[in-house]
């Protein structure tokens, strides 16, 4: 990724939205686990919901959807909240690395998409002819 150019405004909005949604979902995981008496320490529906979101993220990224990598990166934050409340702390490094890799993939995809659109514009075509 070219570090010389900052992400576009649209990409920044997507990132802020994803972080906000991830923090809200993480808060919900923590709040619902507060008085949970199950063996894990958190309601079991979170395991299924977070797994479903991760599978959706991988499927959508594989299909070339722009939001796939962003969803995959942002769903790792609620996973970290889940493993913290269930005291499965060994998963935190994997979640953090996964979040970093998937967020970077999102940024690279956004950069390559923006470059492709700019290069295929009529103005760019005229400049290449000169």
97 lies in some domain: yes
**CA dist., res. 42 & res. 28, Å (int):** 11
- How many domains are there within the chain? 1
Q: For residue 49, what are its two tokens? A: 């919901």
84 lies in some domain: yes
DSSP 24-92: HHHHHHHHHHTT--SSSSS-HHHHHHHHHHHHHHHHHHHTT-TTHHHHHHHTHHHHHHHHHHTT-GGGH
For the stretch 10-37, pLDDT in tens is 989 998 999 999 999 999 998 888 877 7
Closest to 55 measured CA to CA, from 35, 39, 71, 44: 71
Q: What is the mean pLDDT of residues 28-48?
A: 84
For the stretch 55-71, pLDDT in tens is 999 999 999 999 999 99
Q: For residue 62, what are its two tokens? A: 């594989």
4 lies in some domain: no
80 lies in some domain: yes
User: Is the whole model's pTM more than 0.85, yes or no?
Assistant: no
Residue 1 near residue 111 (C-beta atoms within 8 A)? yes
Domain that holds residue 109: 9-129
30 lies in some domain: yes
3 lies in some domain: no
1 lies in some domain: no
Closest to 79 measured CA to CA, from 30, 128, 40: 30
């Amino acid at each position: 990724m070219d570090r010389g150019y900052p992400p576009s405004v649209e990409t920044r909005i997507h990132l802020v939205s994803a972080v906000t949604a991830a923090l809200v979902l993480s808060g919900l995981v923590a709040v619902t686990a507060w008085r949970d008496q199950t063996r894990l320490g958190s309601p079991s529906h979170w395991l299924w919901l977070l797994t479903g979101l991760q599978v959706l993220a991988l499927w959508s990224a594989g299909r070339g959807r722009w939001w796939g990598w962003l969803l995959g990166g942002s769903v790792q934050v609620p996973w970290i909240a889940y493993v913290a409340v269930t005291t499965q702390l060994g998963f935190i490094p994997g979640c953090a690395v996964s979040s970093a890799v998937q967020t970077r993939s999102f940024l690279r995809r956004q950069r390559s998409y923006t470059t492709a659109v700019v290069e295929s514009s009529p103005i760019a075509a005229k400049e290449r002819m000169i």
